[in-house]
Structure 1
């Protein structure tokens, strides 16, 4: 947080609109050093220095030192650090910390989810017209505008409101906290969603892939809801994809 909003933050590019700052790299290096010291037999998968793309056997820390880098680089206070401990590819413990709001979201499989130590619970919205849903855009959105914005528009036409905050981990935590009712996104990495997905599930929500198949952190996409809206959101996604496929054909 000491460097947030300051002009001397070093910002580089991993792609045309995919940014990286010196904070991303410095925090990840510190984390890797800490794991190597305390748990030398554990693996690490993190955004800036990589790791196994396939879920390894045994413990693996899945870490995003700064989820919402673009927001951070532009001085927009919507970003966080996201951490999950996976065992054989399944998240068992998770933590997401939002330093601007001093909010720590945590979960342990089978033991619930908390915000700053207080139990979390999902919302009660039962219809999309009563729901606020949230999504994110992939880094190749410039090449897929019709697809990405088209699905966004499909939800705009049915939900009370649709938001895009710029941090998948925060989006998931907000579903867990009942601030949002559902979240969908594709083209993600494990470090974006491994922690948040467990937090949603332990808060009482439902998490799958966007086609309704079982979720896995390395699957690259996620649909997370309060449960009541899950089938409705799946229906919107399936309908849009079917129409798009028929148009392409």
Structure 2
């Protein structure tokens, strides 16, 4: 995946009708997640926070799974939203019922519902709904990315020194080596870039890259559900999606980089030495 996913919709059945069905399903699920949102944090102890997160997931999955499986007969369902790595060949739904769930249960606003159809480890269709704003981001491989139906385009920047970039951890409890890599990458980008954001979830940063509001996002992780929607949106908006060494990215990759094309080489030069 570079400036496109390498997959087109010709002969695949990925038409406007399917995208409409997926978008409607995701927006219905988002309505429920919005009803569950509070302006204050829910839970103090870790077990209370985890219970709130699971309750969000369970409630929203009940709305998402059946319609999505019916919309694409033959596709399989990736059960573990925190899992990473390649999937067996064929089509899979990768869904995050509450992308940014930790923000949701802490009364924050940066969370979403996502559903992405993946074929042979490449995303080919996605819908991302932000229930608090009503915004919806969609992309189909070979047909561009859109915000509320309006085409998206990545940033035209060519100087990393003028770039707003971001990263974050993919899941709680990452190993210490990953945390050191994150820290080293932030330091490197603070030196070479303009401003560095460190936040979660990944999708909420990647939609900014696709819309040209941010210029790059990277992550030392292979968590599928946080990357596939944004990867397709950025690629279809004209961005470059690789691993941090500049190699083509798919679900088998260990890490991830999405940038405006004009700063990709500089971003790789910062990130690729970090082992």
Q: TM-score range by the shorter chain?
A: 0.7 to 0.9
Find the counterpart in structure 1 of residue 25 from structure 2: none
Measured against aligned partners, the alpha-carbon deviations of 1:108-149 in whole angstroms (never above 9, x if no partner) come to 111111000000000111111100001112423573443321
Query: Is the CA contact 1:156–1:162 (under 8 Å) kept in the aligned structure 2?
Result: yes
Alignment of 1:159-174 (within 5 A): 159-174=193-208
Match of 2:255 in 1: 221
- Give 2:114's aligned residue: 82
**1:92 partnered with 2:124:** yes
Which of 113, 116, 119 is equivalent to 2:145? 113
Show the counterpart of 1:203: 237
1:240 CA displacement: 3.8
- Report which structure shows greater RCO (CA 8 Å, sep ≥6): 2
Q: How many residue pairs end up in the alignment?
A: 239
Q: Distance in 1 between matches of 2:79 and 2:161?
A: 37
For residues 12 and 39 of structure 1, the distance between their equivalents in structure 2, rounded to whole angstroms, comes to 40
Please point out which of 34, 40, 48 is paired with 2:67.
34
Judge conservation of contact 1:21–1:69 (CA < 8 Å) in 2. no
Aligned to 1:24: 57
Distance in 2 (alpha carbons) for counterparts of 1:12 and 1:95: 33
Measured in 2, the distance between the counterparts of 1:18 and 1:134 equals: 29
Of 140, 155, 164 in structure 1, the residue corresponding to residue 173 of structure 2 is 140
TM-score w.r.t. structure 1 length? 0.85
Contact preservation (8 Å) 2:95, 2:225: yes
Q: Which has the higher helix share?
A: 2
CA offset digits 1:67-111 (Å, max 9, x no partner): 111111111100111211112222111111111222111111111
Which segments of 5 or more consecutive residues in structure 2 lack a partner in the other structure?
A: 1-33
Secondary structure of 1:219's counterpart equals coil
Alpha-carbon distance between aligned partners in 1 of 2:133 and 2:180, rounded to the nearest angstrom: 35
Query: Going by fraction, where is strand more abundant, 1 or 2?
Result: 1
